[in-house]
Structure 1
């Protein structure tokens, strides 16, 4: 079923023709990148090195680019590439793959649970949902079962990695007995969907146990700390963030609720409390340009960091505004969430538009307000704005949006890590903001970003991550992550589609954190009873 055009994003015939051409350019870019992988990587290499024109086995050696590209191929109707991909996937067995040049004694025989779930399991399940190809479901079920020993810890909290050969979990990654919240709470969408498809109770119960613990231990401010003990399920550090180490855990609260047809109300409550916590404790306003940004708190101390990874958050808030009705989200919260989404999305775009390369940095550090960083809390600025009569109708950071800087002007931040790793988060938020608000500026912002990606990262065989975004010509680093094909290209393409041609409306589909669409369903009564599903 196609989506319906929203008020405000209707197009003239000329606009429709322009965006049709742009969509074709994005499709051509996907084929360029994927054909480069097919030509130069040797199956089952995971990713292409687009400068040296070689492949690398850096995500289990199972061919992650192929699986991660499935839903993008289906979206773009690239039938020959899809047929070749399905042939490869049919032979997958998820066994340890030896890496040339590395001794077997030093190779890690365990696979990272988080990345394997979102890229492989999510990609296979989405491919099945979109094609009804039962081979994809069989591969997903096989992988899902082989990953389950990761939950065999004292506290039932998943460890960092698992051996798909031996059926053992491994507390590797330099964190013995500890896992990050993103690792323990970014598997529920995939495992609940496959539980629904297969009827396997253990799929649901393993991941729901984590939700039980999270519900019981949600802090008073609505947030969770980033590091957890796998022994007793307690939070073991004092770090609050919604960027690296935590991002998709917060994302999956709303998406779990939407995926199962809004039948798990406690997860909605957890989502709303967490958003309030982010707004109250992690959202700041820069002193001069009044830019909204999300930062971290470590032992109640502000870091000033603003990560590219945090730029998923405005899209998440906009998705909530779009999909939750007035009984699920109050008018006051709806307005607040939309304000935050607008201000943050603008800041995320400025991270690109401010740079000579047109590409956004991996990490920026914001200037503080004089001696006390707490003065910059956005919620305090909103309270003061309301006290003086709400001038302009929108609060600071939202109502008077700063333009991109001119040469020599102060940015309010410095670039701490000047790499652009072909990440999707800002493009995702541009797409969702345009879809939800109908404001064409988000679409144009996204296209401006895409043009910079094409101009600065394209190679003869694909696209490369770069370093030095603060220069006109950043240096390429010989890496084409699979998520570029799964997410960044997909969101740029969907941004370019006619609104009426959106194949995955939010009322019927949700995206996992790797941008693999999964269909909304409702638990059956027997599933409620057999799985022990809480309403």
Structure 2
């Protein structure tokens, strides 16, 4: 389809399912049916609209296999049409690089997908990815252009460093540790500021930084997991020192009503706005406070997390009418609240539940946070079921006219995001309530039906979750492979597959080891340390 314009929006190919659906409707379980088709089954033939039978072992295995086939379709088409580039354009059957990675190909999809391929047992695909990392990965390909199209420090950390560190932790292959260290050293100049708050864009090759004056809360607060682990396995303390300085600043800065506004001055380390949200621009800052506690029993981080959640609950948590849906609004100072929630903010359901289960003291706060986690996840589920596609919008509102519905065109898109499924996964692992598997399976079927770009093409975001036949945006995001499909696969896996007692996920879905619980956290192989620190 080379004649198709690269940036044109595409209609979803119509799928003929009547014959297949008839066969399945007379079955007692989807398991035997799907498995019987395993050799020739393509995810494009998804059995949309069916209600799965009770979760027998056979059904769960089949659902897991189905997700794995979605991953294979995503990966195979990236390999075929975009190998070495950052992202696949599935409908156009070509590639794009995207400004967040700079203006050159650095294989972002390959590195983001490494651990997912390994976890799913896709051995041949994993070996191909590893070989590319060894022979072709080169961050110096990132180039600077006059309008500031440099690499996002935040994205390089969570996707590239996080992906490499996770691959190392899962396999013990020191190639990935070496590459992570190399990238880490390249981005260190961005942290050389008076406050220790890093600039948000850099050319890793030259060390040239984009001298912005302010940075978001998430952009400054989403390095701790990766940098602490990088210092641990290399013996180089510089990374841990950088994030420690950021933490000290954020502990010291004055917080209005205990809240963290989402913009911070790089020069002074002080807040530069009155806007507060649990969503975009702030989300992973809170996530990393909690997960730093989980990763290393960082009591200071846990205290900051608990205080931040108390302030958010007191000032910005609301319950809608008439459906009694719990959500967090966004505030602008003390007088204006925007009653909007987002797909990105739906991570909070899982975060509150995880915070409850790792609460150092039992009691009312533990019960409160678990209930909030369950309620937020239910709210986000409602944003899915209230759309025609069964997929949730980018942003959704609560007012006199709507509940959990997108209003504006830009609100109605779905970008293959993982946050709702991430919360389903965490809530299922922590409670074993089968409804979360049911909800996840329904989401998987909806994604397959509306986001598949066609047989042999991969997956794309859609522009309107409320349309009966939505257009596609022609981008297969790297996080679809790193997070969305990984969390779906783990949702239908046993608890010992990436056990939450031993692993903590970074904000890009890359599992990292927990100190004292996982031997890969403290790797005392002296040859590794000597390799890095002379």
Please say if residues 33 and 463 of structure 1, whose CA atoms lie closer than 8 Å, have aligned partners that are also in contact. Answer: yes
CA deviations over 1:146-186 (Å, ceiling 9, x no partner):
01001112221101111212113212xxxx31110100000
Give the structure 2 partner of residue 245 of structure 1. 281
* SS class of match (2:348): helix
The structure-2 alpha-carbon separation of the partners of 1:195 and 1:291, relative to structure 1 and needing over 3 Å to count, comes to same
Take 1:221 and 1:505, find their aligned partners in 2: how far apart are those partners?
A: 37
Is 1:458–2:458 an aligned residue pair? no
1:375-413 CA distance string (max 9 Å, x none): xxxxxxxxxxxxxxxxxxxxxxxxxxxxxxxxxx96465
Aligned to 1:341: 373
SS at match of 2:268: coil
1:111 is aligned to: 151
2-structure distance, mates of 1:177, 1:410 = 38
The answer as to whether partners of 1:153 and 1:230 remain within 8 angstroms in 2 is yes
Structure 1 stretches lacking a partner, 5+ long:
1-11, 99-103, 369-408, 527-535
Deviations 1:439-469 (A, max 9, x none): 1111111111111001110013100000111
Corresponding residue for 2:262?
226
**Which of residues 203, 208, 230 is equivalent to 1:194?**
230
Tell me which of 420, 441, 444 is aligned to 1:447: 441
1:185 and 1:246 map into 2 onto residues whose CA distance is 9
> 1:27-426 alignment to 2 at 5 Å?
27-43=68-84, 45-58=85-98, 59-60=101-102, 61-90=105-134, 91-97=136-142, 105-106=145-146, 108=148, 110-171=150-211, 176-217=212-253, 219=255, 221-260=257-296, 262=297, 264-300=298-334, 301-324=336-359, 328-367=360-399, 411=403, 413-416=405-408, 417-426=411-420
How far residue 275 of structure 1 moved from its aligned partner, in angstroms, is 1.2
Tell me the alpha carbon deviations over residues 32-68 of structure 1, each in whole angstroms, 9 at most, x when there is no partner: 001110000142x100001101011112321100000
Q: State the distance in 2 between where 1:334 and 1:137 align.
A: 37
Q: Distance in 1 between matches of 2:494 and 2:203?
A: 44
Alignment of 1:469-484 (within 5 A): 469-484=465-480
Whether contact under 8 Å (2:148, 2:210) holds in the other structure is: no
Q: TM-score, normalised by structure 1?
A: 0.82
* Greater RCO, CA 8 A, separation 6+: 1
**Distance in 2 separating the partners of 1:42 and 1:337:** 43
- State the secondary structure of the residue aligned to 1:22: helix
Task: Call closer, same or farther: CA 1:105–1:362 in 2, change over 3 Å.
Answer: closer
**Greater mean deviation of Cα atoms: 209-218 or 88-97:** 88-97
Displacement of 1:279 in angstroms is 1.2
Q: Quote the Cα distance in structure 1 between the aligned partners of 2:229 and 2:328.
A: 31
What secondary structure sits across from 1:466 in the alignment? Answer: coil
Shift in CA distance, 79/156, structure 1 to aligned 2, threshold 3 Å: same
When residues 109 and 241 of structure 1 are mapped into structure 2, their CA distance, relative to the original with a 3 A threshold, is closer
Q: Please, what TM-score do these two structures have when normalized by structure 2?
A: 0.83
Structure 2 unaligned blocks of 5 or more:
1-52, 525-534
- Structure 1 pair 493–64 and aligned structure 2 pair: CA distance change class (3 A): same
Q: Is the 8 A contact 1:253 1:271 kept in 2?
A: yes
User: CA–CA distance in 1 between the matches of 2:280 and 2:483?
Assistant: 17
Tell me the residue number matched to 2:491: 495
Secondary structure (helix, strand or coil) at the match of 1:52 reads coil
Measured in 2, the distance between the counterparts of 1:489 and 1:114 equals: 22
Aligned to 1:22: 63
Q: Give the Å deviation of 1:223.
A: 2.4
For residues 42 and 433 of structure 1, what CA distance do their matches in structure 2 show?
Answer: 35
How big is the shift at 1:506? Answer: 1.5
Match of 2:429 in 1: 435
* Residues 222 and 275, structure 1, Cα contact 8 Å, conserved in 2: no
Query: Residues 142, 290 of structure 1: CA spacing in aligned structure 2 closer, same or farther, 3 A cutoff?
Result: same
SS in 2 for 1:200: coil
**Counterparts of 2:494 and 2:178, CA distance in 1:** 35
In the alignment, is the contact (CA less than 8 A) between 1:366 and 1:414 conserved in 2? no
1:244 is paired with a residue whose SS is coil
Aligned partner of 2:20 in structure 1 is: none
How far apart are residue 76 of structure 1 and its match?
A: 0.3
Q: Number of aligned residue pairs: give it.
A: 457
C-alpha distance in structure 1 between counterparts of 2:417 and 2:505, whole Å: 16
Alpha-carbon distance between aligned partners in 1 of 2:320 and 2:275, rounded to the nearest angstrom: 22
Q: Residue by residue, what CA displacement relative to the aligned partner does 1:355-375 show, whole Å, maximum 9, x if unpaired?
A: 11111000112106xxxxxxx
Partner SS state of residue 170, structure 1? coil
CA distance in 2, matches of 1:111, 1:439: 41
Distance 1:412 1:314 in 2: 15
